[in-house]
Amino acid sequence: MAAESETFMALGLLDESSRGVSGTPRVLVLIASVLEKSLQNNEKLLTTSRRKDAITIFHGSRSPTLSIRQYIERVFKYSRCSTSCFVVAYIYINKFLQQTDAYLTSLNAHRLLITSIMVAAKFLDDDCYDNAYYARIGGVSTAEMNRMEMKFLFNLDFRLHVTAEVFMNCCLKLENESGKYQNGQAGPSLWPRRRPARQR
């Protein structure tokens, strides 16, 4: 329990001590770094291999101007949801990508983020804003937000419960990655992945 508490504190899940100058909990910075690295690698793979990405309801026509980190910080600032929601949202995104043929790219990452964070907040937090408010934060229409939520939930089979073990393992991996990011050596162990290609 002591080790878990130390990890949670180091990631900014328990108190304000590990927030940077911007007031952003460290775990959010790490999640943003992992996601940004993932989409960069996926886009490079799609370009070099000439593979076609599966277009989903989460794909926009062009990449948003905000970086993943800026977007996460915006959602954190205005949604006021618990920091744990972002860890759970990250776990949800991994599950979603494993259930679909889509890659995480700059065209779908922001919409997947706002949807997964909203779903996590509804499931975890006692108080949560409605879809219209999250739509304004995320830069989409309420109708889009509603459609994305339903699609996301169906892809997860409405299985939103994250065990304490899965949550802790994710936090430990993020904590372990922190040193690698500082040295520019982050490995692929946490990058959101799509499921293996179907055997024909």
Class for the domain spanning 25-175: mainly alpha
What pLDDT score does 192 carry? 55
Half-sphere exposure of 53 (CA within 13 A, CB side): 23
Token pair belonging to 109: 């990452």
Distance CA 47, CA 141 (A): 30
What pLDDT score does 117 carry? 97
Torsion angle of C-alpha atoms 154, 156, 26, 129, degrees rounded to 10:
30
For the chain, the structural domain boundaries read 25-175
Segments of the chain scoring below 70 in pLDDT: 1-22, 177-200
User: What residue type is assigned to position 42 of the chain?
Assistant: N
What pLDDT score does 86 carry? 95
What pLDDT score does 51 carry? 76
Distance CA 85, CA 64 (A): 22
